[in-house]
Structure 1
Amino acid sequence: MNKRPLYFDYAATTPVDERVIQVMVECLGFKGNFGNPASSSHAFGQQARRSVELARQQVAQLVGAAPEQIVWTSGATESNNLALKGVAQARGVSGGHIITSQIEHKAILDTASQLQTAGVAVTYLVPDSDGLITPEAVSEAMRDDTFLVSLMLVNNELGTLNDIPGIGRVVRERGALLHVDAAQGAGKVAIDLAQWPVDLMSFSAHKIYGPKGIGALYVGPRAQQRLQAQIHGGGHEGGLRSGTLATHQIAAMGAAFALAAEHFDEEAATIARLRERLLEQLADVPGLRLNGSPAQRIPHTLSLTFGEGEFNPAALSASIAFSATSACNSASNAPSHVLLALGLDARAAGRTIRLSLGRFTTEQDIDQAVQLIKASSASAPAFWAVAQP
């Protein structure tokens, strides 16, 4: 049997935690909690409904929201579509203006492109040299007809952390809504939607040790009457997202968010320590550069560009599972739009890898990965040093 490669691609997806799997399994089979949550007239449906509402509370508690503000979806991509299209269509008038950035996930960029086709003007902000979108940049882009701003909390390729509270204050002063894609931030960043000036926020279970195929959208009070459903057929989830609720996936997402809340400080400290260990050992690799802000970032995700030489990401992939680009770009094999927006050319983007750490990363994994990376690196003189956080 071939040895499995080291796993350093947690930003793409996380393995489901065994404790989450157990919760999920308990909702399957005739002896399990298999009922339809919408069928509240009998015990099976009532039991399933209790599991769904418990999960809603667990998700809400991690992010400082009220349970009734959490709407179940199939994942962050659907949540993003519901947020952008839902707000645009609920206006009842054509045109208007939204703001996003060049370094958003494709779920935002492609949706914004569709809105452009429908007559909505879109401004794509350019990140600063640290890979950040600043409140000042948002303020300068605001127009009288701006009705929505959509920006990510944590960049999925760089790990950079936007000042969402600061951006939210700017947006709220102008009367627009703020949507935040937090797929990469939940469980890694302390989110407080009771205090943050955010109106809509997207979440995904499979980025936080839950199953694929389930996510949620936070809908704050300012957005309640300014959002139009995209899926119809039964009026589930307050009329915002019809369809029979998948109890097993929802319960699992709730369990995953509860575990993240329980171990938040401990995991943050462990990942930060492992990140330091990795960067310290890579500091002498010739020509290595850390992309994005060295300070305003999460410790979980590192984008590393190697200097000109013999480094071959394809050869390294046999022993380390990493991303040469984000999962949203990998199908086309095109250079990362995030790295290009940051100022890297296509050749430099081709020498860039993303290493992302997670709950099951160990010191031994770090040490082995460093040895493998160094073995794949050229011995040319360094012209960039790794930026230390």
Structure 2
Amino acid sequence: MRTTPGSPRAWLRAHPLIGDSALALLITALSAATVVVNAAGAPTAGYGPTRSPDALSLVLITLTCAAVAPRRRWPLVLLCLAELPQVALAALDYDAGLTGLVSLILLYTVAAYRGLALSLVAAAVVSLSHLTSMLLGADTGGWGQQTFVVVVALTVWVVGRSIRLRRAYLAELVDRAERLERARESDTRAARAEERSRIARELHDVVAHHVSVMTVQAAAARKVLDTRPEAAKDALVAIEEMGRTAMREMRGIVGVLRTDGEAGERAPQPGMGDLPGLVDQMREAGLRAQLWVEGERQVLPPGIDLAAYRLVQEALTNSLRHAGPAARAWVTVRHDPGELLVRVEDDGTGVNGTSPRGPDDRQGHGLVGIRERVSLYGGILRIGPRQGGGFEVRARFPLKDSHT
């Protein structure tokens, strides 16, 4: 049962010593009243003749009931201490009043707030105290009353243990919910980091490709501006179109950041079907590029479709920038059963045209991003010198899962 914050019950739970002290005073008063009533000749619980109450008996009753006040701090210790005055009351043949409630309250407290071992010790202490009182000659009633006392004590112990187990179960549920919440937050952060990494790769591919082409076109326009103004005009038109295309693609990618991925995911992404247009762009920029598609075309998973396109785009961009002015490039796409092969080659020897390029000449951020893309889909990538001169980027994407 939940308690409303600010209610008297919630206040008492926040200040247990006050409530327990009030309970101790109540039991003391009721015990004293019971003793007085029994001494006046009106026994209420079937007790036999006892000594008349005096100051000693009232002190023993008060000491027994006082153990209830701090019961939540040292319940087992207080239980053991409370049994001593009760045994003394029985040994001196005094009426104990309602001090038996103290044993039950402390037994419940140990069972509800301590472990199983201590709760068993508490049950043993109560049993030993009751047996000692019987052996000292106190008239505690017949077997029926003794059976009732045992049943009540056992019920109190079981209720206390049940409440402790329920409390532990609820605490475990709360802890598990907190762990799940932390795990969800960690997964969310990881997903956001992965999304940022994906956006960074996309932005790099778009910017690197289009800016490289625009730079080459601008250089060509500058060279022929005076001698061939029409060719310079065509180059400027190509730069304008390339800039618009770059801005359109960048808006689609950056839209993910502004709308938590909703608009960006709806924006169409380029794929292998756009390779002819990409190759035409490279030809216009001055790279003599050709495209061959082998095998029966098949529908590719969106992720692999985009990754393969970006691989060709990055490889051609690097050929345009680094292969040299007279270089040629070949793009080969082969559709085989269960896999897609993509190969981009060029025969360039470098911008200076004097020395062959090593395998690490063009290992920039773009090709590192290509490695990440290919490995993400379980592909195999090779980047390095081409046999016979030039450079080669070759990737193999498995497509087994795409047919399931």
Larger radius of gyration: 2
Q: TM-score, normalised by structure 1?
A: 0.24
Higher RCO, 1 vs 2 (CA within 8 Å, ≥6 residues apart)? 1
TM-score (norm 2): 0.23
